[in-house]
Amino acid sequence: MRSREENPVRRPVRLGAIVVLAVVFGSLLGVHGSARAQQQNRATTFSGEVGLIQNTIKANATADFEMVMQKVKEALRDSQNPVRQRQGRSWRTFKSSAPGPQGVIFYFHVLDPPVPDGDYTISTILSEGFPAEAQQLYDTFSNAFSGGVVPINLELVNDFGR
């Protein structure tokens, strides 16, 4: 069994590798489609050791996207549901430091570890945490997208530090 204790210097390298893989994976698949269609069609769950969600956001909509993600954070933090609280504790979001193709900005949600069978669907989390504002927040979230949502389950295959 792998120990959860690790060298703090290796963690940024591991996350960097995950982000690079996600960009390549998403680009190779040519992922397109709206966030709305993908979010409303199915629950977003993870079964791997680490979950990763790649979002491709319009450069002029990053503030809107980040505002909605702050609301998601608040909904998870303030939830009375222990599953939601655990989701919030293991969820971190990263942003590309430079624009990608066509000026888009990549956001990566790293779920380390993901909550088994926890539903990470943004519309569901917003509806639970902010019922009166959920539709408006979700519309703002959807309109920020330039591409689709890419959820990826990751399994460790080699730990170079061990």
Does residue 161 have a pLDDT over 80? yes
Q: Helix, strand, or coil here: 153?
A: strand
In this predicted structure, the answer to whether residue 34 has a pLDDT above a threshold of 50 is: no
What pLDDT is recorded for position 29?
41
How far apart CA 40 and CA 72 sit, in angstroms, is: 16
Instruction: Report all structural domains of the chain as residue ranges with CATH numbers, in order of start.
Output: 32-154 (3.30.70)
Residue 16, pLDDT score: 54
pLDDT at 37: 45
For residue 12, what pLDDT is reported? 55
Model pLDDT for residues 133-146, shown as the tens digit of each residue:
999 999 999 999 99
- In the prediction, which pLDDT does 148 show? 83
Closest alpha carbon to 106 in 140, 146, 141: 146
Question: CA 7, CA 106: separation in Å to the nearest integer?
Answer: 27
The answer for residues whose C-beta is within 8 angstroms of residue 47's C-beta and 6 or more apart is 114, 116, 153
pLDDT digits (tens, 9 = 90+) for 66-117: 999 999 999 999 999 999 999 999 999 999 999 999 999 999 999 999 998 7
Q: What is the pLDDT of residues 9-27, one digit of tens each?
A: 455 555 555 554 455 444 4
